[in-house]
Amino acid sequence: MHAIRPEIESFGQNGIARTALARLHDDTVMPLWFGEGDEVTPDFICNAAKASLDQGHTFYTHTRGRTTLRAAIKCYLDRLYDADVHPDRISVPGSAMLGVNICAQMAASKGDHVIIVSPVWPNIEAVFRVIGAEIEHLRQRPTPGGWQITADEIIASVRKETRAIFLNSPCNPTGWVMPRAEQLRLLEFCRERDLLIIADEVYHRCVFDAPVAPSFVEIASDEDPVIVVNGFSKAWAMTGWRIGWVVAPKRLATAWGSLSECFNTGANVFAQAGATAALEEGEAFVHAQQSKFSKGRAIVSAAFKEHPRLEYIEPQGAFYAFPEVRGLTDSARFAETLRDQMHVGVAPGYTFGPGNESHFRICFARRHDELERGLEGILRFLEG
């Protein structure tokens, strides 16, 4: 069969889909497997989108996003980071995921070497596999103080044919947060080498000891080779809206708009009105979410920290726990059996890149009583 490229022919389901899709609409399963909370998007955001529809906003719009939303993103970033982001650097893809795709298309061709800091959400690797890039996973190290990888470890793996470094901080699934000093060191190297950093910061507000995680937006200048990908899904409970934003080098504005036309001709127009409201009026909601995630983490830590079968590192950010089960050799079977016997849905470790076969991931962005019920099922399963 030659009609389809081999990269596509060989595509299978990722481990999260493989475990979850079979029981997607089964209410008896506690769904800790996906990367989203259980809250409906707040009314003030929904109402802004409804008003936009009522005003007749149903036409094509700017391929890099409506000017009102781009202005709101600039205000938000300037306020959050005490920055002055040039408006030409901001674009609005129809999801952070689409943003990662456009970055990948900009950076890499078939055979190019791409470094991915892992463990990593499986869809990211898929983006580069579609291109046919050569992917090298650089795995963070679990240490008692948290997951760690230094800029120098990343730099040591850069080759002549490396075209991009992807990193996600705060990290799904480990909760790793890249410290400012490491960001500076990596940026300095990539600036000199003109090597693209794709910094996925969709969990920027999901941190526990600060209002926001360190961002490349704070340190990259207008033409540095950095694209920061972000979105509305996580902090504003908008996973179904499919809208994100990026901060890219200024000179890429036109290219971004043109590539955006190849994908979805710009984000959904009335979702953009909701996103504008999220940025302008959403701080109280974000703070409430932060307390909820913080309590969720405390509940998980109490259950996992001293467990004799688990190696558990408390996450510094995002809203996942990624424990290792001592002696586990088949994470897919673990997740499927847990699902079928205890009715708790977790994501199997293997899907987050090499070296994770003895891990599983849960999302703790849920109502605390439900989270506790899910954890009880996991603990009983580990005892059995």
Taking the complex as a whole, how short is the minimal distance between the CB of residue 251 and ligand PLP, in angstroms?
A: 25
Given a contact cutoff of 8 angstroms between Cβ atoms, the answer to whether 158 and 128 are in contact is no
Q: Provide the 8-state DSSP code for 114.
A: E
Residues in Cβ contact with 249 at an 8 Å cutoff, skipping those fewer than 6 apart: 89, 222, 223, 224, 225, 226, 227
Give min distance, CB of 192 to ligand PLP, in A: 27
User: Most distant CA pair in the chain: distance in Å?
Assistant: 59
CA distance linking residue 74 with residue 256, whole number of Å: 17
Amino acid making up residue 140: Q
Q: How far is the CB of 45 from ligand PLP (least distance, A)?
A: 15
Q: 154 vs 342, which CB is nearer to ligand PLP?
A: 154
Shortest reach from residue 103's CB to ligand PLP, in Å: 11
Contact 231, 101 (CB under 8 A): no
200 binds ligand PLP (CB under 6 A): yes
Nearer Cβ to ligand PLP (154/237): 237
Evaluate whether 359 touches 45 at the Cβ level (below 8 Å): no
Cβ atoms within 10 Å of 261's Cβ, excluding its own: 11
Minimum distance between the CB of residue 35 and ligand PLP, rounded to whole angstroms?
3
How far apart (Å, rounded) are the C-alpha atoms in residues 2 and 5?
7
CB 237 within 8 A of CB 37: yes
Considering beta carbons, is residue 205 or 382 the nearer one to ligand PLP? 205
Site map for ligand PLP, 29-48, x if CB under 6 A?
Answer: ------x-------------
Among 121, 176, 293, 304, binds ligand PLP (CB under 6 A): 121
- Using CB under 6 A as the binding rule, whether residue 95 contacts ligand PLP is answered as yes
Considering only the stretches 19-27, 109-117, 231-239, 359-367, report the one whose residues sit in contact with ligand PLP under the rule CB under 6 A: 231-239
Among 41, 172, 268, 276, binds ligand PLP (CB under 6 A): 172
Q: How many residues does the chain have?
A: 384
Decide if residue 231 touches ligand PLP (CB under 6 A).
Answer: yes
Q: Does the protein bind ligand PLP through residue 363 (CB under 6 A)?
A: no
Give yes or no for residue 323 binding ligand PLP (CB under 6 A): no
* Residue 228 and residue 240 in contact, taking contact as beta carbons nearer than 8 Å: no
| Residues engaged in binding ligand PLP (CB under 6 A) | 35, 95-97, 121, 168, 172, 200, 202, 231, 233, 239, 244
